[in-house]
C-alpha cells in the first residue's frame, strides 16, 4: 500500500475536522447561507486548478449528470444543513450527528449523494473533475440563496469571521482532494477508516479554538466520536 495514500487519508480527516471547527468560529457572526457561498466561492478555483494534475478532462454525460446531482445534494443541501447544525449545536455535536434533526438530515443528504457518486464512478466519471463542475454549479445556487434570503455577505470588508470561513473553505477543498487521492492508492476500508477519524479531530480543534468557537467539547463528545469511528470500521470491514 502507498505511504502517500495513508498520509493523504489521514490528512483528509484532519482537514475535515479543522474545517468544521473554523465553520463554527465563522458562524458567530456569519449566517450558514453566507458560509456556504464563501466555501464554494473559495473552493471552486482550488478544485479546477487540481483537475490538470490529478483529474481527467473526459467525462461522459451519464457520469457528469450523476456528479452534478450528487454534489448539488452534497454541496448545497447537505453542506447548508450541516452549517446550520454547526451554528446552532456546535461543531463537535453536529459532527458526530447525535440526535438533532438538522444534523441527521444533513447525514441523510450526504449518504444519498454518496450513492450518486458511486454511480458516476461506475460510469467512468472522474471525481475531481466531477466535483469541480459541481462546485461551479452549486456556487450559482448558493449565490441565489444568499440573494433570496437577503443575507449580507460583506465580502468586500472581510471580518475575522470571514477569514475563518475562507480558511475553512480552503481546508475542506484540500480535504476533498486528499480523500480522492487516498481512494486511488488504498483499499476503501483503509482509506475510509483514516478519513473517518475526523470527528476526533473536530473535537480536538474545537477545544483548541474554544475562545473563537465559544464551544468547549466534553467527554460525551469524545465518546460519541469514538463510537462513530468504530461504526465506520465495522461497516467498511472486508471491503
> Would you state the pLDDT for residue 117?
64
> Would you state the pLDDT for residue 154?
75
User: Containing domain of residue 161, as a range?
Assistant: 3-236
**What is the spatial distance between Cα 115 and Cα 229, in angstroms, rounded to a whole number?**
20
> Would you state the pLDDT for residue 129?
83
> Would you state the pLDDT for residue 100?
42
> Would you state the pLDDT for residue 110?
57
**Concatenated DSSP letters for 133-144?**
HHHHHHHHHHHH
> Would you state the pLDDT for residue 46?
94
- Below-50 pLDDT ranges, the chain: 98-103, 239
> Would you state the pLDDT for residue 60?
77
Say if CB 11 and CB 5 are below 8 A apart.
Answer: no
Say if CB 190 and CB 239 are below 8 A apart.
Answer: no
**What is the spatial distance between Cα 210 and Cα 126, in angstroms, rounded to a whole number?**
38
- In the chain, the number of structural domains is 1
Query: What residues contact residue 14 under an 8 Å CB cut-off, 6+ apart?
Result: 197, 198, 201
Give how far Cα 4 sits from Cα of 129, 177, 183, 184, Å.
Answer: 21, 13, 11, 11
pLDDT in tens, 182-219: 877 777 677 777 888 888 888 888 888 888 887 777 77
> Would you state the pLDDT for residue 101?
45
Buried b (16+ CB within 10 A) or exposed e, 139-150: bebbbebbeeee
Amino acid at each position: 500500500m502507498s505511504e502517500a495514500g495513508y498520509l493523504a487519508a489521514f490528512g483528509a480527516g484532519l482537514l475535515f475536522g479543522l474545517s468544521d471547527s473554523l465553520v463554527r468560529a465563522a458562524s458567530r457572526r456569519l449566517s450558514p447561507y453566507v458560509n456556504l457561498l464563501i466555501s464554494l466561492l473559495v473552493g471552486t478555483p482550488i478544485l479546477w486548478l487540481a483537475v490538470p494534475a490529478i483529474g481527467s478532462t473526459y467525462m461522459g454525460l451519464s457520469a457528469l449528470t450523476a456528479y452534478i446531482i450528487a454534489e448539488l445534494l452534497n454541496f448545497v443541501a447537505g453542506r447548508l444543513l450541516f452549517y446550520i447544525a454547526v451554528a446552532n449545536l456546535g461543531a463537535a455535536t453536529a459532527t458526530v450527528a447525535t440526535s438533532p434533526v438538522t444534523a441527521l438530515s444533513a447525514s441523510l443528504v450526504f449518504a444519498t449523494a454518496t450513492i450518486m457518486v458511486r454511480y458516476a464512478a461506475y460510469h467512468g466519471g472522474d471525481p475531481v473533475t466531477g466535483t469541480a463542475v459541481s462546485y461551479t454549479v452549486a456556487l450559482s445556487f448558493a449565490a441565489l440563496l444568499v440573494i433570496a434570503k437577503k443575507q449580507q455577505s460583506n465580502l468586500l470588508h472581510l471580518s475575522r469571521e470571514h477569514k475563518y470561513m475562507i480558511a475553512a473553505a480552503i481546508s475542506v477543498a484540500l480535504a476533498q482532494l486528499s480523500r480522492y487521492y487516498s481512494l486511488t492508492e488504498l483499499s476503501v476500508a483503509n482509506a475510509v477508516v483514516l478519513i473517518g477519524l475526523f470527528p476526533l479531530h473536530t473535537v480536538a480543534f474545537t477545544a483548541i479554538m474554544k475562545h473563537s468557537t465559544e464551544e468547549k467539547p466534553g467527554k460525551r463528545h469524545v465518546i460519541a466520536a469514538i463510537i462513530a469511528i468504530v461504526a465506520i470500521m465495522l461497516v467498511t470491514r472486508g471491503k
